[in-house]
Amino acid sequence: MALSSNKRTALYGAHKALGARLIPFAGWEMPVEYSGIAKEHVAVRTAGGLFDISHMGEFEIQGPEALDLVQTLCTNDAAKLVDGQAQYSAMAYPQGTAVDDVVIYRHSAEHFMLVVNASNATKDFEWINSHNRVDATVEDVSDTLTLLSLQGPKANDILQPLTNLPLVTIPYYHFARAKVLNVDAIVSRTGYTGEDGFELYFSAQESEPVWSGILEAGMPQGLVPAGLGARNTLRLEAKMLLYGNDIDGTTTLLEAGLGWIVSFDKPEFIGRDALLKQKQEGVKRKLVGFEMLSKQIARDHYPVFVHGREAGHVTSGSPSITLKKNIGLAYLPAEHASIGTSFHVSVRGKLSEAQVVRTPFYKRMTSSIKH
């Protein structure tokens, strides 16, 4: 018998009981689907989905020089954050490529939380510590926290009766400490699906009652448990990048189209010189979104051809369940990356035509009425 060395979240038993299919992912045994990827995907676009994403890593950075450390490590300008605000950012290598993409939470001027990808958590923690020359306290609190993501147009209405926090006071990329089902939690209006929604951080010891309490409360409104499969198809439609596929230690943030999280207004951060030079000279390749022009599906790692020459590969490719098209992301030579340009994807040895399109592939309709 093979002994699994993968870690399990505190909700492993709950996932099993719901009939989830579990797969190894980034060193964790995670639910990939419950009722089916497409069903869960549609539920998130039309009602709600509840994801256990406790595999994500969380680091607390504290002390009088916490901001200095964050500013050195991260490419976006964390000095712009106020208490209770979050920011999408990245950590770069000196050559401008990605160590990881992260979300920074500012609790106070001397207390930040960094949320990192599970696959990078160990590497990130070492990276942060090796650059901590200012004596900020860095603590990995990943194992003590459960992280649930409640996503979808009904997320607000499902969560509101369960918390004392008026959710209307929490704009996108803001958060507050509150009670959720009488459990102390950080309630953050963030997510990885392209829908409105919340991410909830709380003590792993409270996992089961909060998970099942939200599911039960939301079920009448169409809430379903959702797995990593739907999380991937949802984030791709919203063109949210996946580390390890779309960005990694070989792709610069500018090539990936993440210039908007690189703040050259800051005097210093790791990777600044290389990124500034690349900005001035122009990137040689760009991450583009594309649609297949035939019924062929582009999958991760399929080779990409421009004018008959191999020019890279598909970094993420999948059927788009919402748009009923086959979509993907790929790096193309910069001179061949404008909207409308056609190129080819090799699908099992046969070249299929694809076209560069505007992204995100899917953007939700935002209503002006907020409940």
Give the whole-angstrom CA distance, residue 203 versus residue 214.
16
Give the whole-angstrom CA distance, residue 371 versus residue 64.
39
Where does this chain bind another protein (CB under 8 A)?
Answer: 32-33, 36-39, 41, 229, 233, 295-297, 299, 318-319, 321, 348
Give the whole-angstrom CA distance, residue 301 versus residue 134.
41
Q: How far is the CB of 168 from another protein (least distance, A)?
A: 35
Q: How far is the CB of 21 from another protein (least distance, A)?
A: 9
Distances (CA, A) of 344 to 208, 245, 283, 297, 305: 47, 19, 21, 12, 5
Find the helix packing angle between 66-73 and 121-130, rounded to 10°.
120
Q: How far is the CB of 244 from another protein (least distance, A)?
A: 16
Q: Which of 368, 341, 366 is nearest to 153 (CA)?
A: 366
Nearer to another protein, 180 or 234 (CB): 234
Nearer to another protein, 42 or 217 (CB): 42
Nearer to another protein, 266 or 299 (CB): 299
Give the whole-angstrom CA distance, residue 229 versus residue 147.
17
Q: How far is the CB of 164 from another protein (least distance, A)?
A: 39
Q: How far is the CB of 24 from another protein (least distance, A)?
A: 15
Nearer to another protein, 45 or 285 (CB): 45
Nearer to another protein, 134 or 323 (CB): 323
User: CA angle 147-148-152, nearest 5°?
Assistant: 145
Q: How far is the CB of 297 from another protein (least distance, A)?
A: 5
Nearer to another protein, 17 or 339 (CB): 17
Q: Which of 68, 124, 78 is nearest to 100 (CA)?
A: 124
Residue 39: in which H helix or E strand, if any? helix 37-46
